[in-house]
Chains A and B, each alone.
Chain A
Amino acid sequence: MATIAKDAPSQTERTRKFEDVGQLSQFQLIWRRYKKNRLSVIGAIALIIMYLMALFADFIAPYDPNEIDASHQYAQPSTIVWANGGLALQGMRQIVDSVNFQIIYEPDPDVTYPIRLFVRGSPYVMWGFIPLDIHLFGVDAPPEANAKIFLWGADRQGRDLFSRVLKGAQVSLTIGFFGVMISMVIGSIVGTASGYFGGWIDNIIQRLIELIQTFPFISLFIAIAAALPITMPVVQRYMLITIILAFITWTSFSREVRGKVLSYRNADYTAAAIAAGASHWRVITTHMLPNAMSHIIVVASFAVPGAIAAETALSFLNLGMLPPAVSWGVLLQDAQQIKSVTLYPWLLIPLGAIVLASLCLYLLGDGLRDAVDPYA
């Protein structure tokens, strides 16, 4: 008896929890289910933070990412101390080691510079149209002290790695995203046409897809990217690489959508719609696409990390984005020499950024995949 009494409330609790299911919209059902995957929610929050940081990169970064500073070559990450009632930067001295001809830095224990919020610094143009010179944080130091805050150290030319990783996020996090968006649109249109109309249209499209897929993904990407002239302006290059990514990845989308559309094509509700005199356009837009949408989004969320990895890899090989453009792949070029990584391990920080972004995107995809089919 005791066990039954103990089980009974939990049983009613469970039914109560689900009794409003009938009144929830599909989106609410998806959201309710998605929330259960804690890891995926954490990944999504981390991604939102990363994208926000990329959006406000110029403001958050304390310095211009391309600002060369010979007096801070390979400066190590700054030591932050608590001094005079606030966070402060520990002063540093640059010393050239006469034996190994290496630049080393030594903390200067007597000197600290306060870190302030909203300081004026190098000018930038926010989102291409708001000229500003306010940065989120910076060091309040006299110019002759030549003190700079390097949260993540500096590279061979004394450029602030933190600023560069933020700026690189603007390229690396978006290029794969936009590429997959475009490829999703192309793939959906072509895949729907292929699956819905069938016949010779389907035949031609499928043969074309097979032809493109005869080439291994990364080889095709490299071959097309190698054809871009080196002198091309950064913005143009960015757009072309996005388009190349889309061109290579749309085929698998189109296959997925075609498969879905084929199964809906034979569903009773489609037959009913056609019998009721609905046009092709109406059947496609009200019956096919909304049904396939959740599936398309899941496939896209898994495609984005792959596209991001492809861009960083390509830039790493000097075939994608080229300096002075900043992308995570460009930053990693400095980490290619094992000797410099041994001496200056902070050069690997962009690698951490790539791995983190990729991991979070996969977590997001994982959660979405389980959540999009709330009736299962």
Chain B
Amino acid sequence: MTTFLARRIVYMIITMILASFIGFFLIELPPGSIVDIKIDQLRAQGGNVPQDQIEALKRRYGVDDPLHIKYWKWISRTLQGDFGTSFETDTPVAGIIAQRLPITFALTFGTALFAWLISIPLGVYLATNRGSIPDYIITFVQFLGIAIPNFALALILMVFAALVLRQDVGLGFFSPQYVGAPWSFAKFLNLLSNLWIPVVVLGASATAGLTRVMRANLLDVLNAQYIQTARAKGLQENAVIWKHAVRNAVHPLVMSIGYLLPAIVVGDALAGVILNLPTLGALYLRALQATDMYLGITILMMQCIMLLLGNLIADLLLAWIDPRVRLE
């Protein structure tokens, strides 16, 4: 176990180093640099920018350095915990990210919880009532959930909420009158009324996918001989299903934890932008659009780390719940 873990961790570090090369190169690719933005800003404030000031700016940000020097400067600062400054807002990247992390975190876990709470019982119900009318209806709804792109679903729900429910949408998590207000029951209700759309949008495809997999897996397991044995022993049907069958069918749900961690960082960037949510995904998009490179690369690298960590945790959990995996 220890050797397995050690090997995985060493391997993760190597992967991260390589990923940081690729990520840095990608983020460096867009034309235009911080200095161009600064000069534009200075010009907008009025007045011409003298050549020596431009030179000073260029030296300060190391714009003319070759790529490997830039990379070295960036990675050595990052490893010391300094993620650089956002060009757009002129504030430290770490602060901007820390500000958005809790809400993104809460949204992702809320969504995952929503997906799990619905997909496990629903999958079990569908597998045990195969071929019934609810089975057909729900299978069709799931199909829609998988087939409709997330950002399209976000738009559809937003229009639905605005036109049918007469709700103010696209304002973020709180309506304007509650933004600065202290916590109260009314504020909480307001949060819930704004939260259901992102939760449904972000959770729809996950719920649909997990239910589908859960149903298929459980159908396989229910055909196994040990289920027949359990029934022959005279066990209650409930015990057969939940103790014998479901436990052997939850693997894909455990594997889905692996996707959960990177989702904290990127969430669904598109839905975040459409619904105007202050999530990291939306921030990442804006950073790339504004060529705000340190903000962009920090979020991208966080995603990579989370993906690797998520996979590791999923593998460990799987080994913990299933002895057969441990043997391999």
Q: Which residues of A contact B (CB under 8 A)?
A: 210-211, 214-216, 218-220, 222-224, 226-227, 229, 305, 309, 312-313, 316-319, 332, 335-336, 338, 341-342, 345, 348, 351, 354-355, 358-359, 361-362, 366
Contacts and interface: CB of A to CB of B under 8 A. Distances in A.
Contact of A214 (B19, B26, B273): B19
B288 A312 contact: no
Contact of A219 (B29, B151, B266): B266
Interface stretch (B45-53, B241-249, B302-310): B302-310
B99 interface: no
A164 to B, nearest CB: 17
Contact of B149 (A211, A224, A309, A336): A309
Given A227-B30, A313-B149, A332-B155, 12 more contacts: A214-B16, A214-B19, A214-B307, A216-B262, A219-B300, A219-B303, A222-B269, A223-B23, A227-B26, A305-B147, A355-B152, A358-B149
Interface string B282-310: 00110011010000100010011001100
Contacts of A218: 266, 269-270
30 contacts: A211-B15, A214-B15, A214-B307, A215-B23, A215-B303, A215-B304, A216-B307, A219-B303, A222-B269, A223-B23, A223-B288, A226-B30, A227-B26, A227-B30, A305-B147, A305-B149, A312-B152, A313-B270, A318-B289, A319-B289, A336-B274, A338-B158, A338-B170, A342-B162, A342-B163, A358-B148, A361-B147, A362-B143, A362-B146, A362-B147
B22 interface: yes
Nearest to A354: B152
B64 to A, nearest CB: 19
Interface in B116-153: 143-144, 146-152
A351 B152 contact: yes
B134 to A, nearest CB: 18
Interface of B: 15-16, 18-19, 22-23, 26-27, 29-31, 143-144, 146-152, 155-156, 158-159, 162-163, 169-170, 262, 266, 269-270, 273-274, 284-285, 288-289, 291, 296, 300, 303-304, 307-308
A223 B27 contact: yes
A216 B307 CA distance: 8
A211 B22 contact: yes
Nearest to A302: B146
For chain B, what secondary structure do more than half of its interface residues adopt (helix, strand, loop), or is it mixed? helix
Contacts of A219: 266, 269, 284, 300, 303
B304 A338 contact: no
Given A211-B19, A341-B159, A223 B148 contact: no
A355 B148 contact: yes
B288 A222 contact: yes
B325 to A, nearest CB: 18
**Chain B CB within 10 A, most for which of A226, A345, A361:** A226
A215 B146 CA distance: 22
A351 B169 CA distance: 18
Nearest to A306: B149
A352 B150 CA distance: 14
A348 B27 contact: no
Contacts of A312: 149, 151-152
A348 B155 contact: yes
A316 B155 CA distance: 12
A42 to B, nearest CB: 13
Contacts of B296: 223
B26 A224 contact: yes
A216 B266 contact: yes
Given A214-B19, A219-B266, A348 B159 contact: yes
A316 B151 contact: yes
A223 B149 contact: no
A317 B152 CA distance: 13
A332 B156 CA distance: 12
A227 B29 contact: yes
Contacts of A215: 19, 22-23, 300, 303-304, 307
Contacts of B162: 338, 341-342
Contacts of B273: 317
A305 B269 CA distance: 19
Contact of A351 (B27, B156, B262, B308): B156
B31 A229 contact: yes
Contacts of B29: 224, 227
**Chain B CB within 10 A, most for which of A223, A229, A318:** A223
B191 to A, nearest CB: 20
B303 A216 contact: yes
Would you list the 6 A-B pairs with minimal beta carbon distance, nearest first? A309-B149, A227-B29, A226-B288, A362-B147, A359-B147, A223-B26
A77 to B, nearest CB: 17
Contacts of A342: 162-163
Contact of A223 (B156, B163, B262, B300): B300
A251 B216 CA distance: 26
Contacts of B23: 215, 223
B169 A338 contact: yes
A223 B27 CA distance: 7
Nearest to B158: A338
A354 B149 CA distance: 8
A252 to B, nearest CB: 14
Contacts of A220: 26
A276 B307 CA distance: 46
